Amino acid sequence: MDDTRKTAIIIGASRTLGLGLVAEYLRRDWDVIGTVRGSRRTGLHDLAEASGGQLAIESLEMTDSEQISALRDRLARRTFDLLFVNAAITRGDIPIGEIPTDMFAEVMITNALSPMRVVEALRPLVAPTGTIGVMSSDQGSITLNTEGGQDLYRASKSALNQLMRCYAARHAEDTQTLLLMDPGWVRTELGGPDADLSVEESVPGVVETIERHRGQPGLHFLDYQGQIVPW
């Protein structure tokens, strides 16, 4: 990797939005580290082979705190301009009273707790003027929830937003930019086939919004068009 290029680490980069983010940053001539779960081959491996050394791959099961610590230790001598955490699951549109306890715990751990563990663990690797971003959703907005549905997914994203608020307050003196990003309704396994946007339509806007807010400390909740999302 070239020490003169900007550097990003994208957590959860094996497919859809995460993979799209990696591809976009490579197109902008960044050096990138992307993480995948396990050892199976993914589209990220194809990108790495074609990247001329600009993309490296690390293995991370984000829900495993020991693996997060191990990743931090492996990267301890690196400094990143961007840390972006992209990970979420849903288990269907089930009313909250019908959701099993283990399903509730699984989604909350994956969508809210684990991203914040990554942020807390890897924040020392981000440059003082760098950016820490987490993929959120407008479904995490309490203000915009006028129709209900997707109870657990909405709750997990609201929890993520609140935890990032706590993080921002705790590190109020930091000069890093903090972003909660809403990518729009995207045609992924999560968004479904009827969603408004393709990955290719969403991701450039996400990256442009991230870059436009570089050097603006504090927490911002924004969509892929750079618009403020109400809490």
- Give the mean pLDDT of the chain: 95
**Fold for domain 7-173?**
Rossmann fold (3.40.50)
| Structure confidence by residue, pLDDT tens digits, 116-145 | 999 999 999 999 999 999 999 999 999 999
The type of residue at 54 is Q
Beta bridge partners of 35: 58
pLDDT of 224 strictly over 80: yes
Q: Is the full-model pTM beyond 0.85?
A: yes
Quote the pLDDT of residue 198: 92
For the chain, give the DSSP string.
--TTS-EEEEES-SSHHHHHHHHHHHHTT-EEEEEESSS---HHHHHHHHTTTSEEEEE--TT-HHHHHHHHHHTTT--EEEEEE-------S--GGG--HHHHHHHHIIIIIHHHHHHHHHGGGEEEEEEEEEE--GGG-STT-SS---HHHHHHHHHHHHHHHHHHHHTTT---EEEEEE--SBSSTTT-TT-SB-HHHHHHHHHHHHHHTTT--EEEEEETTSPBPP-
Give me the count of residues in the chain: 231
| Structure confidence by residue, pLDDT tens digits, 174-220 | 999 999 999 998 887 777 787 789 999 999 999 999 999 999 999 99
Domain range list for the chain: 7-173
pLDDT of 57 strictly over 90: yes
Q: Are 203 and 24 in contact (CB under 8 A)?
A: yes
Token digits of residue 166: 């706590």
| Structure confidence by residue, pLDDT tens digits, 24-55 | 999 999 999 999 998 888 999 999 999 999 99
Quote the pLDDT of residue 173: 95
pLDDT > 70 in the chain, percent: 99
Beta bridge partners of 42: none
* Overall average pLDDT of the 6-20 stretch: 95
Quote the pLDDT of residue 2: 61
| Structure confidence by residue, pLDDT tens digits, 65-84 | 999 999 999 999 999 999 99
